[in-house]
Chains A and B, each alone.
Chain A
Amino acid sequence: MKSLLATLALTTALTLPNLAMARPVTLTTTLNNYGGDGAYLALYVTDASGAYVGSLWMAGDKSKYYEHLTDWYRATGGDAAEVNGITGASVGAGRTLEITLDLADALFDAGYTLHIDAAVEDMRDSPNEVSVPLTTEDAGTLARGRRYIANFAYDM
């Protein structure tokens, strides 16, 4: 019994610091009924100076269309390696994309901004549709999009 408690204490002590460094964050993006094909969406982060830090999600699996996500493309050169392992299908009009990611705590309250670029075949490209500061205080707050995105929120 004593050894079990000791094991528990030890594993808890070893696990907690890891838990404190990252947390599951759910990013919810709801699209308007814009009446077109599925939207390509690039979710990415810039730092306090506006420099690209990295991508969080790419909705749309064909890299040949990424040039239409214009701000993301300019920052990354369209490098598909930026979104390896964080890519899924494009999102249909009126649908809601819900992604849960294990994100570093250091991302919040440190001047980072989350952006979403959107593009739809045969319709106008829409870079920086959403731009929200990543703060623990703003978690759960709905941000409005401009063209294809109705709203976006992150929850933790």
Chain B
Amino acid sequence: MRKTLTALALAALLPAGAALADNDDNDCSVARSQWQPRDAVLQVAQDNGWTVRDFEIDDGCYEIEGRDSDGRMVEVKLDPATLRVIEMEYEDDDDRGGTRNPSPAGTVSPPQNGLFGNGTPPQVQVN
């Protein structure tokens, strides 16, 4: 719910025609020559009171992972040219209903979907 409100609030800030409904619209496509330097991004983070833990490029956008001024884990996508916030996602939203992560193998029995035998836990390895 909070994520929806955040998205709505951000959508209101965007110019007409821009849409946030589809995830692909959160990608950036900006020519390299127009990109702001890394320091400018870190300045935006500082201005907003974000503590930067990780800083990378994702879907053509700058992406910051860290904590907001309230200490909440946050992932922020910025347009590399304008440094405008494109998406702001709180990591703990995953635990607030709706989009829970599944239980890892071995912690609970496989689902009762008729495909599995007697609930023996899966054996998995990656080589």
Contacts and interface: CB of A to CB of B under 8 A. Distances in A.
B109 interface: yes
Nearest to A80: B102
A84 B103 contact: yes
A87 B105 contact: yes
A63 B99 contact: yes
Nearest to A26: B123
Contacts of B107: 85
Nearest to B119: A102
Given A80-B100, A98-B127, A22 B109 contact: no
A156 interface: no
Nearest to B23: A67
A103 B116 contact: yes
Interface residues of B, number: 33
Interface string A80-124: 111111111101100111111111101100000000000001100
A49 B123 CA distance: 30
Contact of B117 (A22, A45, A82, A85): A22
A72 to B, nearest CB: 13
Contacts, number: 118
Contact of A53 (B110, B114, B126, B127): B114
Contact of B118 (A18, A81, A86, A89): A18
Contact of B126 (A22, A54, A63, A98): A98
Given A57-B122, A89-B126, A98-B127, A82 B114 contact: no
B4 interface: no
B58 A121 contact: yes
Interface in B58-101: 58-59, 89, 94, 99-101
Contact of A82 (B59, B99, B111): B111
